[in-house]
Amino acid sequence: MKQTRRKFTPEFKTKVVLEALSERLPMAELAQKHELHPNQITQWKREFLDKASDVFSKGEKARKTEQDYQQESEELYKIIGQLKVEVDWLKKKLQS
């Protein structure tokens, strides 16, 4: 008999981890309630806690100021200009 792996949604994992963090039930009872192995809950809990700080830092990293956009735009225009000069030069060389 072939046994398939169960897939859990992020919402389910979050629910289980939050229950584990609340410590209202012992890990064994929580595992039995959700039909999981206690080690699986511990692994999800560790992963959740390791990545918790990313939730608050992403907003700061993702924000770009108007100055950042202008600087990026200037760099791209510079590259476009350089490439146009190179293409024109190559076209001239091919015609000769």
pLDDT digits (tens, 9 = 90+) for 19-28: 999 999 999 9
What is the structure's pLDDT at 67? Answer: 84
Residue 53 binned pLDDT confidence (cut-offs 50, 70, 90) = confident
**Per-domain boundaries in the chain:** 8-51, 64-96
* pLDDT over 60 at 71, yes or no: yes
- pLDDT at 3 > cutoff 90: no
Is pLDDT above 90 for 65? no
For the full predicted model, state whether its pTM sits above 0.85: no
Q: Is 32 helix (H, G, I), strand (E, B) or coil?
A: helix
96: pLDDT strictly greater than 80: no
Within 1-96, residue ranges assigned H as helices are 10-22, 27-34, 38-50, 52-62, 66-95
Tokens of 76: 């791209």
What is each CA distance from 29 to 9, 10, 52, 93, in whole angstroms?
21, 21, 25, 78
pLDDT value of residue 57: 74
